[in-house]
Structure 1
């Protein structure tokens, strides 16, 4: 999107991922600004829209000049804005561009259909929900900056800042701006060690490896940092399921299994390593233990933190139990 001439007068940015949508908008405005440096950018908030404003802003000015009208949060649009947009889209714009942002869904569908019918340029901003999506996002952030980040560092950064995409993007930018060379797990730990230790991922890693003292130390640190027992149990369950899934998937290259199982390649490698020393029976027992802890931390028990500690110790016990023989 380097040449503004490649952009039609109508641009639709659709999808719930705010970081991607904002970046798309920035790229569009930058592209338009390259050929219209004096263009006036007018931003309209759909929720606070004043009837008649859109029509006025898109009307040719007596003084000339190009206008770029940005309509944010179309999903919140009132009927007057939907009606005005629908009318505007029936005719070519005069020395103006219209950029509309929509978070997704069927709200204001009449406008969406009209924009697509008018051959609007559509930019997707899909939600990044899975670890695979977020891992790809991190890797791409460093690729754009012409920097390298190791798979272990990707995972550590995901653990430290992966809940919120905006925070994840900011963490990537900080590492790009403040460091040189390849970013590895140690570099991430320098900037985010407190956050990483306070997550359930480190607890799960230690428990699945059978390291009870370390698992308990990390767990108590996480609780002292204010982490709720519920997400810790969720991570324990998720990590055990990943180990079981990878262990039963057979051999093959990590990249191939990643596509088959919907997991990032680095997650496949870690799960493979974690699966050594486990068998199906003991994994099943560990998963059942975590299921009981899940019930306890969601109201079924008196002491949620004790329930998690018990689950962690039981996982470690199963890791060191003699293998089941048929």
Structure 2
């Protein structure tokens, strides 16, 4: 961005596509795309921070696409009396009307040299024509897709801790994801709390101390105990989870997910480490599955999968008592160990 002596770096950044929020650099136009709001916020904050590092007096303007009035972009990006650099952030492109789409499209033809325009789009097909135009212009795209899988959440936790100069072992990362992994902001906040309140390598005992009650109320702890053949503990954890408001459906889903991982690893474990890596699982997942499979036979695994499939149908409407259905499934899974 401006002054003009900084333009070569911006031009280099224009050719970058699909960068992460922590790698985005200043460019005349930047597209932040994806529904993961935390990552999108971080991308915008990084751009603003870089602009302020280059010019402490930079003017930052935020526009809401849903409230946009025709011509506003031209007004806020026009040269000012004191020639300040500018960052203009347009939020909610997926809510844009034709006025904003037309103005941004016209802007792309000749973006001013002293302005960084950041456009946020949270997903969906609305505004696709402008998205295509932004990408065709060479504007860098910051990918902020929703993080859904446990493996990706684990990678997120490890990266959060690494940026803070800290590390956690695999079990601790898994425990933290199990406890607070449903929301990325909460997961990031939990990482920050552990960094602030602890020292050294973060182990599972530390996570248990801070978030143990929440871990026990999740389906993952229930599934872990059931797959280990610990029927008493599994039922106790299940009843605690149900008593604290956990719905039977995600508990059955956790059981199913655990068994799917076992089935995947069991299908390829005789083919060497390369075949296991090709499954796309996190290392701790494959290590845990290999350990769990020592207690399982193919027949027992098939029986457990069948029991969970039945419970899945029952908790989604085919049965009259979802709580009974999930408890019966837990007992059947635990009973299938070694069978």
- Look up the match of 1:304: 322
SS in 1 for 2:43: helix
Higher mean C-alpha deviation, range 91-100 or range 225-234: 91-100
Unaligned ranges ≥5, structure 1 = 322-326
- Is the Cα contact below 8 Å between 2:226 and 2:333 reproduced in 1? yes
Aligned positions of 1:177-326 closer than 5 A: 177-251=196-270, 256-257=274-275, 259-321=277-339
CA contact (8 A) 2:36 2:144 kept: yes
Task: Give 5+ residue unaligned stretches, structure 2.
Answer: 11-25
4+ residue stretches of structure 1 with deviation over 3 A? Answer: 3-6, 251-254, 256-259
Structure 2 residue 182 is the aligned partner of structure 1 residue 163: yes
Please tell me whether the aligned partners of residues 244 and 275 of structure 1 are also in contact (alpha carbons under 8 angstroms): no
Of the structure 1 ranges 43-52 and 232-241, higher mean CA displacement relative to structure 2 is found in 43-52
**Greater mean deviation of Cα atoms: 4-13 or 145-154:** 4-13
For normalisation by structure 1, the TM-score amounts to: 0.92
Q: Distance in 2 between matches of 1:235 and 1:33?
A: 45
Q: How many Å separate the matches in 1 of 2:92 and 2:188? A: 22
For normalisation by structure 2, the TM-score amounts to: 0.89
Deviation at 1:257, TM superposition (A): 4.9
- State how many pairs are aligned: 319
SS at 2:278's partner residue? helix
Q: 3-state SS of the aligned residue for 2:269?
A: coil
> Aligned equivalents of 2:316 and 2:123: distance in 1?
32
Deviation at 1:251, TM superposition (A): 4.3
Check 1:245–1:78 CA distance in 2 against 1; reply closer, same or farther (3 A cut). same
Residues 221 and 167 (structure 1), Cα distance of their counterparts in 2 relative to 1, 3 Å cut: same
**Residue-by-residue CA offset, 1:200-236 (whole Å, 9 max, x unaligned):** 1111111111111101110000011100001001111
